């Protein structure tokens, strides 16, 4: 039992460790170069002057908040699925534990599907809003 729990914790740490890794970005971009190197059109195409056209509505903020909440719900649903798998594996033939593990797995999968559908619907609606 201890080996299973230790294995699950170690696996979560290994998978979760990848969440802290970020790619290194170059310090110098096309926007930092003088006009003699890149033309104004090239810099405009690269988005160097995008600050002039920033979206000042509340829609991007709402979109970000909804995406963060749905991401958290998705992560919780995956954790519930993993918990159900561990419970099912360690049930040792106990009918009550198997039943509870199946119910937990069902609720976890339903929660994950609902979170994915909500994410898709929100992104579709936000992308098609004409303000």
CB-based contact 4:86 (threshold 8 Å): yes
5 occurs within a structural domain: no
State the residue for tokens 């059109």.
Answer: 41
Same domain, yes or no, for 94 and 123?
A: yes
**Between residues 95 and 48, the one the model is more confident about:** 95
Tell me the average pLDDT across 16-33: 56
Domain limits for position 42 = 26-54
Same domain, yes or no, for 100 and 43?
A: no
17 occurs within a structural domain: no
**Between residues 77 and 34, the one the model is more confident about:** 77
Given 54, 70, 92, the domain boundary residue is 54
Q: How confident is the model at residue 16 (pLDDT cuts 50, 70, 90)?
A: low
Asked whether the predicted pLDDT for residue 93 surpasses 90, the reply is no
64 occurs within a structural domain: yes
Closest CA to 71 of 19, 129, 11, 17: 19
Our count of domains for the chain comes to 2
Same domain, yes or no, for 89 and 101?
A: yes
Return the SS3 of 63. Answer: helix
Same domain, yes or no, for 50 and 60?
A: no
**Confidence (pLDDT) at 109:** 93
């Amino acid at each position: 039992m201890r080996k299973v729990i230790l294995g699950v914790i170690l696996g979560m740490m290994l998978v979760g460790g990848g969440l802290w890794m970020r790619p290194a970005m170059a310090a110098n971009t096309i926007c930092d170069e003088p006009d003699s190197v890149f033309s104004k059109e090239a810099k405009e195409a690269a988005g160097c002057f995008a600050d002039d056209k920033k979206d000042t509505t509340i829609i991007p903020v709402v979109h970000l908040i909804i995406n963060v909440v749905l991401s958290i719900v998705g992560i919780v649903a995956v954790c519930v699925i993993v918990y159900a798998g561990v419970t099912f594996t360690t049930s040792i033939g106990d009918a009550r534990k198997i039943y509870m593990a199946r119910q937990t797995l069902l609720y976890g999968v339903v929660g994950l599907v609902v979170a994915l559908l909500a994410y898709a619907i929100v992104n579709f609606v936000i992308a098609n809003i004409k303000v």
